[in-house]
């Protein structure tokens, strides 16, 4: 859990970062994320390719023009019911600090990729949140396809207010899921769509 982004190294080498996002108020789905933070952090750290990040109750808010309580990559977070959410991205948390003090290097924003799992679109209650967490983390850990998820929205940087490339994954009932290789390649690729 992060109280301040100042202690996070700029070059923390991970394939991706997993942010647990909420909007600062008590909400049962957000509480389920908090209650299961330790398990998620353990699963992510076992292969040393990811890290799970969540703010403390009184700590830092990861917020800038791309990601905030009210807007996520040009989407109205309230209207679209995007929070609470699990965000998988290639963005190191130190980038938020550098953005605030104006030391972001050219090209960093162009390579930003985000994959959202909005909880309200997946889960009716906290039990379903736990089931969703298990599906996501175990499948990623094992390098398995995310058959239970399909892309429902894709945004390309510079189109319709999008400041970064992003995809939203929601429950999949059609039988064709999101492949693990596509998931990893999307986060590693330089400014490419997720096709």
| DSSP string across 69-124 | SSEETTEETTTTT--SEEEEES--THHHHHHHHT-PPTTTTTT-EEEEEEHHHH-S
Strand, coil or helix: 178: strand
User: In which residue are the tokens 């994954």 written?
Assistant: 169
- pLDDT for 126: 93
**pLDDT tens series, the chain, 195 aa:** 564 555 566 666 778 888 888 877 788 999 999 999 998 888 888 877 788 888 777 655 566 667 777 788 888 888 888 889 998 988 887 776 666 556 566 555 668 888 999 998 889 999 999 998 888 888 887 888 888 888 888 999 888 888 889 998 887 766 567 777 778 788 877 544 454
């Amino acid at each position: 859990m992060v109280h301040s982004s100042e202690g996070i190294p700029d070059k923390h080498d991970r394939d991706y970062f997993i942010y647990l996002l909420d909007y600062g108020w008590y909400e049962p789905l957000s509480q389920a994320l908090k209650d299961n933070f330790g398990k998620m952090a353990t699963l992510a750290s076992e292969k040393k390719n990811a890290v799970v990040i969540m703010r403390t109750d009184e700590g830092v808010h990861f917020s800038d023009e791309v990601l905030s309580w009210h807007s996520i990559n040009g989407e109205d977070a309230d209207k679209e019911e995007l929070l609470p959410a699990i965000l998988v991205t290639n963005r190191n948390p130190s980038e938020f600090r550098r953005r605030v003090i104006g030391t972001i290097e050219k090209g960093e924003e162009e390579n930003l990729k985000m994959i959202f799992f909005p909880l309200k679109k997946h889960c009716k209650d906290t039990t379903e949140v736990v089931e969703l967490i298990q599906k996501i983390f175990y499948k990623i850990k094992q390098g398995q396809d995310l058959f239970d998820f399909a892309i429902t929205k894709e945004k390309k940087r510079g189109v319709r207010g999008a400041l970064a490339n992003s995809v939203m994954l929601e429950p999949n009932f059609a039988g064709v899921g999101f492949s693990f290789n596509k998931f990893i390649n999307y986060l590693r690729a330089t400014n490419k769509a997720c096709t």
